[in-house]
Structure 1
């Protein structure tokens, strides 16, 4: 064997070894699991075949920066969290929440979302904003969602700003965690749906920078694991 052939053989062995190690490492890595908060109630496409009585503009949802990532974040303690590298949301968490809420509100109310579409001046559209203040996951214990949500008719000075805190007990396992968050979002969606339909009750006037804003009363829905406060004033939009 010549010197050149010897060098070529050693180079080939090094390359082959590197490829083998890479393949073994890939095989040893656990597969990523992806979860969605999508409603179990099915698509709302069927509802949109009928002209809806309600039009809504579901704005992009805001979430805390600590959970605004593809990985699921769980609480270890009140001051410590753990980022799960192999358990991820199917899409950004803010999009997951918006899609789940939109599907639930549309299904419950028969409303159609016109976000990003042209509006007719004489058609009322309910602008819905959702600001998630807390999105907590305690494995084997509970999940908690703390939300400030706003409903504002486009053809009125009336506005509804409400604060909902929903908690659900969950068993061990990430499927149970995701289902708990899904149930909590469904509950908040029910509150928002009632808020869209709620008549004006004992309105109060808040002087804004440009015009007076009339505040509508939030729906009264209280249960063991749900709290809704009404109204919330001075909430940044």
Structure 2
């Protein structure tokens, strides 16, 4: 008759420890992924100036409360979203959008960099305010950015108020979602840059005044059509970088 060896407490503790380490290792094996809306390369400057004569300031961006978090938020259906704990923005979403707009609008409007023109110089400052109404991410389908934005100069009280709604198709994967949002923001930036360029060109002859409520400026400057921004964004995406 074979006698069973009693389990020692040492064996039990060793077994529990091994199981615990396996659980901890499994939990630690899912790294957090960080994404940014910043640009990989500078878009082509569509209008260059030998002597920069204006500056651009983008105010802090407003976003819906539901997406104002570090995690990516994706749509499951029209009434349900999912917060992704392991997929996050590199900085807060409002800052990501603002930084992307600052870079793209300055590049496409032909404005100097932040350190190129001293704040004390007597140049017009175009102040841009952005209020994101909708920021939706539909995996494997599309992204949607719905934005109300305004442009005014530091010397004026009137503003030009415009509305941009951009929908970009995306493939599967969260990286594709972020890429779709980057393209959509590029369209909005191209529309803003078009207004700034037109305003700066008009202000060369005489002071510019916006008629905020009508959405038009005194010299025929109005909100761009959606196709204008889409084409500009497409051009900058395929254009080679200038030396």
Calculate the TM-score normalised by the size of structure 2: 0.71
Query: In the TM superposition, what is the alpha-carbon distance from 1:52 to its structure 2 partner?
Result: 2.9
Show the counterpart of 1:28: 27
- C-alpha distance in 1, partners of 2:74/2:104? 25
Aligned: 1:221 with 2:221: no
The CA distance in 1 between the partners of 2:56 and 2:72, in whole Å, is 29
Check 1:167–1:224 CA distance in 2 against 1; reply closer, same or farther (3 A cut).
Answer: farther
Aligned to 2:5: none
C-alpha contact 2:161 2:215 (8 A) present in aligned 1: no
Gap runs ≥5 in structure 1: 1-9, 45-49, 207-212, 227-237
**What secondary structure is seen at the aligned counterpart in 2 of 1:129?**
strand
Could you say what secondary structure the match of 2:85 adopts? Answer: strand
Using a 3 Å threshold, how does the CA distance of structure 1 residues 202 and 178 change in structure 2: closer, same or farther?
A: same
Whether the 8 Å contact between 2:125 and 2:154 is mirrored in structure 1 is yes
Number of matched pairs:
206
In 2: Cα distance, 1:83 partner to 1:68 partner: 11
Structure 1 pair 203–37 and aligned structure 2 pair: CA distance change class (3 A): closer
1:139 is the counterpart of 2:139: yes
* 1:57 Cα offset (Å): 1.3
Q: Deviations over 1:193-237 (max 9, x none)?
A: 01112347996476xxxxxx99535333233997xxxxxxxxxxx
Can you list the C-alpha shifts for 1:79-110, whole angstroms capped at 9, x where unaligned?
Answer: 11000111111111111111111111111123
Give matches, 1:56-135, under 5 Å. Answer: 56-112=56-112, 119-120=119-120, 122-135=122-135
Kindly tell me: are residues 225 and 157 of structure 1, through their superposed partners in 2, closer, same or farther at Cα, counting changes over 3 Å? closer
Matched residues in 2 for 1:155 and 1:225: separation?
27
Indicate the residue corresponding to 1:191 in structure 2. Answer: 191
Following superposition, the deviation at residue 18 of structure 1 comes to 5.7
Residue 54 to residue 91, structure 1, CA distance change in 2 (3 Å): same
Compared with structure 1, are the counterparts of its residues 144 and 205 closer, same or farther at alpha carbon in structure 2 (3 Å cutoff)? closer
Q: CA deviation at 1:162?
A: 0.8
Residue of structure 2 equivalent to 1:173: 173
